[in-house]
Amino acid sequence: MTDADLPAFRAALLDWYAAHGRDLPWRRTRDPYPIWVSEVMLQQTTVAAVVPYWERFLEAFPTVEALAAAPESAVLRLWEGLGYYSRARNLHAAAKAVVERGEWPRSVEGLRDLPGVGRYTAGAVASFAFGLPAPIVEANTLRLYARLLAYRGDPRSSAGQAALWDFAERILPPSPSESGESGSGVDPGLVNQAVMELGGTVCTVKEPRCGECPVSDWCGAFTTGLQSEIPLPKARPKITEVTEATVAVRRADGAVLVRQRDADERWAGLWDFPRFEPPSELTTNVPTLDARQPALPLGDGDTPLLAWLSTAVQEQTGVRCEVGAGLLEIRHGVTRYRIRLLCYGGTRLGGRLRSGATMRWIQPAALTDLPLSKTGRQFATRLADLSWEGDSP
DNA sequence: AAAACGGGGTG
DNA sequence: CACCCAGTTTT
């Protein structure tokens, strides 16, 4: 596509978008705050998954000031289930930075200085909220641009990224300041929304609907019949299998022991039951723990693991306990992991909570208010229905 | 350049 | 189950 083609290309794109663009909630505003929240939530996350989270989040934190003033734990609780939790921590930190600063950065460079805002998100907020001619490349546009350019190399490589970002910049309408005159009158944010929408709904990964594409005339892949060869697929990571064990240690009053994950751990800031990855020789012979009531009577397969867990709980928390009931087994596939999580019940024997770590005894019903991981939430939810040896009446 | 990120939707 | 998702940060 030559520069001479660009006005017609943009016109066809925008006509199509006006007729076929989805009415997504964050497209109804030019306020940087809700737009920024949506962009961070949408990082590596589908639109369908984000919509309900975005609605709840904006209701709880209607302004950047409200978000900045919130406890991190409340932010994480609203993020629970969305994954990639560093996004929530960065969002919270960035909100504080914006409030401290007194105003939003109004440039790509300024936006990129915010934690969790990279090249794409900065361009998105700059163009959608501020109407700046900032290019964007993300999953949808990577695919669209690679096909338009008939880019045969790896679009995720340095060279590929350079080519795509260059193209992303080239298709934007000239701004008034750049052209020195009145400008094109076309909103760069609208062009960016349109290319993403086209990539997301027409220029799809499998079986792109080129017959419905408003810009197929300018598409190198379509012209040469290479739609299914371009772009090259992303390398698939190898799946890692892991078996872990977690313990709900219960006190006489029914409260269970939880700890907040440290800043340098996975799930930083989230809460969790004491959780471990025991040596594999201790878990390979553990029979399946279906959720059952009463708790599974434990056999030879579990015994060495139970002793190990008892020691591990004491080392991690300071609490002495007897681990004595197989309660539940959770199988969970996430990103590149396939996890078998063995859930046990334990009874407190004595000991004090170690100082220096954030830990609490909490009634199972109150776990609703704490941010937990997916599997932590599953265990917590089932806990109300489970009872085991050592129960107080 | 590669790995981590521990979640969900879709066919 | 395989593959992908409006990426960013750390190693």
pLDDT per residue as tens, chain A (393 positions): 999 999 999 999 999 999 999 999 999 999 999 999 999 999 999 999 999 999 999 999 999 999 999 999 999 999 999 999 999 999 999 999 999 999 999 999 999 999 999 999 999 999 999 999 999 999 999 999 999 999 999 999 999 999 999 999 999 998 665 555 567 789 999 999 999 999 999 999 999 999 999 999 999 999 999 999 999 999 999 999 999 999 999 999 999 999 999 999 999 999 999 999 999 999 998 888 875 555 555 666 778 999 999 999 999 999 999 998 787 999 999 999 999 999 999 999 999 999 887 999 999 999 999 999 999 999 999 998 888 876 544
**What is the model's pLDDT at position A393?**
42
CA distance A133 to A128: 10
Rounded, the Å distance between the CA of A154 and C1' of B4 is 21
**What is the model's pLDDT at position A182?**
60
Asked whether residue A204, judged by its CB, lies under 7 Å from any atom of the DNA or RNA strand B, the reply is no
**What is the model's pLDDT at position A285?**
86
Asked whether residue A341, judged by its CB, lies under 7 Å from any atom of the DNA or RNA strand C, the reply is no
User: Which residue in the block uniquely carries the two structure tokens 């990082």?
Assistant: A43
User: Which residue in the block uniquely carries the two structure tokens 């003033």?
Assistant: A69
Q: Which nucleotide is nearest to A87 (CA to C1')?
A: C8
Rounded, the Å distance between the CA of A238 and C1' of B3 is 12
Q: Which nucleotide is nearest to A50 (CA to C1')?
A: B8
Architecture of A240-383 per CATH? Alpha-Beta Complex (3.90)
Q: Is A351 left (phi over 0), alpha (psi -120 to 50) or beta?
A: left
Catalytic residue, chosen from A39, A80, A138, A197, is: A39
The residue extents of the domains of chain A are: 3-224, 240-383
**What is the model's pLDDT at position A298?**
62
Helices assigned H by DSSP within A186-244: 188-201, 220-224
CB-contacted nucleotides of strand C (7 Å): 1-9
Asked whether residue A205, judged by its CB, lies under 7 Å from any atom of the DNA or RNA strand C, the reply is yes
Q: Among A22, A65, A56, which Cα is nearest to A38's?
A: A56
8 Å CB contact between A240 and A340: no
Orientation of helix A47-60 relative to helix A72-79, angle to 10°: 150
* Residues linked to residue A227 through DSSP beta bridges, in sequence order: none
DSSP designation for A198 = H
CA distance A342 to A326: 8
8 Å CB contact between A218 and A1: yes
Asked whether residue A374, judged by its CB, lies under 7 Å from any atom of the DNA or RNA strand B, the reply is yes
Same CATH fold, A240-383 and A3-224? Answer: no
Question: Does residue A39 have an active-site annotation?
Answer: yes
DSSP, collapsed to helix, strand or coil, labels residue A169 as helix
The first and second tokens of residue A135, run together, are: 């290019």
CATH code of the domain occupying A3-224? 1.10.340.30
Q: Which nucleotide is nearest to A341 (CA to C1')?
A: B6
